Amino acid sequence: MGSERQVKRLAEILVRHSVKAKKGEIVRISTGELGRPLALAVYREVLRAGAHPLLAAGFEEANGIFYEEASPDQIRHMPPSKMFEAKTIDADIIILAPANTRHLSHIPPRKIADRRKAIKPISEVLLRRVRWVLTNFPTEALAQETDRSLGEYEKLYYRAVEQDWGAMARMFARAKKILDKTDRVRIVGKETDLSFSIRKRIAVPCAGEYNMPDGEIFTAPVENSTEGKIYFEFPAIAGGREVAGIRLEFRRGRVVAASAEKNEGYLKEMLAADPGASVLGEFGIGANAGVTSFTRDILLDEKMGGTIHLAVGRSYPESGGKNDSAVHWDMIKDLRFQGEVYLDGKPVLRSGALFGKTPKGMKKRGG
């Protein structure tokens, strides 16, 4: 479970840096059974900040029981108490600590999509008015997903957390100025030549405020502008299912052809979940030098230095995106050793080097 010092330090980062808890505010701490050590450390830190902690602990198995037993009416039910909390709390610290990352893999994707639609109004209120941060607490299940022991996973995880967030924020401030002036993005790589516009969209730098670990800058493609094809080297995980070897082809902003080497049916079902599910909602660039290998956990993987990620489905309002969907599914393309990103024809990410700088721990191609 990491050293006491590491857990205490992470709690301090979450409360003081990420959500910046202030005296008199209500800070919700959401977690499961295995997140107890970090949740208690956060609870203590919230009190020290003069804020009011609200502990929301749940059972992982309850989600499985819900989807197995719930009627369509129960699936569509929006819990009023959760909406009240969303309208009342000032900050939300969400600690993921799964005992089994595949505990919902037997549930039909449609049920999960319908539930997301039902609670979407709550999510929208939280996104609009609450300062929130999402983090992991290392567990055996998360370690197994990465083919590592718990001890090795903890090393990877805390290395990604213990970054110089101030320096990263300054780098992203420079990147934002460039992205905010960009019209056309082009991504070239293995089986990939994809372009889209980000004209008049807003680049959002992420240096530890909403995710921990963090380390990405993202924006929203113009909804009808995406053209071309893309291949994703890494599997995309959703609902406990791994979809590998994804190839997408876009015309006029929409997916017109989709295939996968594993779980292709699930991919197509998710893309057909609603009209916005086959449109790009996000384009992001990863820049965390502490994340050096794929973990099957999007919280870490989308931050990997030298990669980009695209999300089909819902866009984030703060990026200026207008795409609406119950789906938001990130897919990661590896450009560390092959491929480029061009902004208005100028290369900004080439073989893992962002604006000419190679992330630490990664050799340049041919190095």
Q: In this predicted structure, what is the pLDDT of residue 128?
A: 85
Q: Which of 94, 116, 96, 120 is nearest to 107 (CA)?
A: 116
Question: Going by DSSP bridges, is the β-strand pair 184-189/192-197 parallel, antiparallel, or unpaired?
Answer: antiparallel
Q: In this predicted structure, what is the pLDDT of residue 179?
A: 96
**Where in the sequence of the chain do the CATH 3.40.1830.10 domains occur?**
4-161
Q: Which of 184, 186, 185, 188 is nearest to 338 (CA)?
A: 188
Token pair 């599997």: residue: 235
> Is pTM, for the whole model, over 0.85?
no
- Alpha carbon dihedral 69, 75, 81, 86, in 10-degree steps, equals 130
Residue ranges in the chain modelled with pLDDT below 70: 1-2, 351-367
13 secondary structure, DSSP code: I
Distances (CA, A) of 150 to 34, 139, 160: 13, 7, 15
Let me know if 80 is exposed, middle or buried by CB neighbors in 10 A (0-12, 13-18, 19+): exposed
From first CA to last CA, the distance across the chain in angstroms is 36
User: Span 4-161: which CATH code?
Assistant: 3.40.1830.10
Q: In this predicted structure, what is the pLDDT of residue 109?
A: 81
Distances (CA, A) of 112 to 68, 137, 325, 338: 11, 24, 13, 36
Q: In this predicted structure, what is the pLDDT of residue 196?
A: 98
Let me know if 169 is exposed, middle or buried by CB neighbors in 10 A (0-12, 13-18, 19+): middle
Over the range 252-291, which residues count as b (16 or more CB within 10 Å of their CB) and which as e? ebbbeebebeebbebbeebbbbbebbbbbbbbbbbbbbbb
Q: Which of 38, 14, 349, 16 is nearest to 188 (CA)?
A: 349
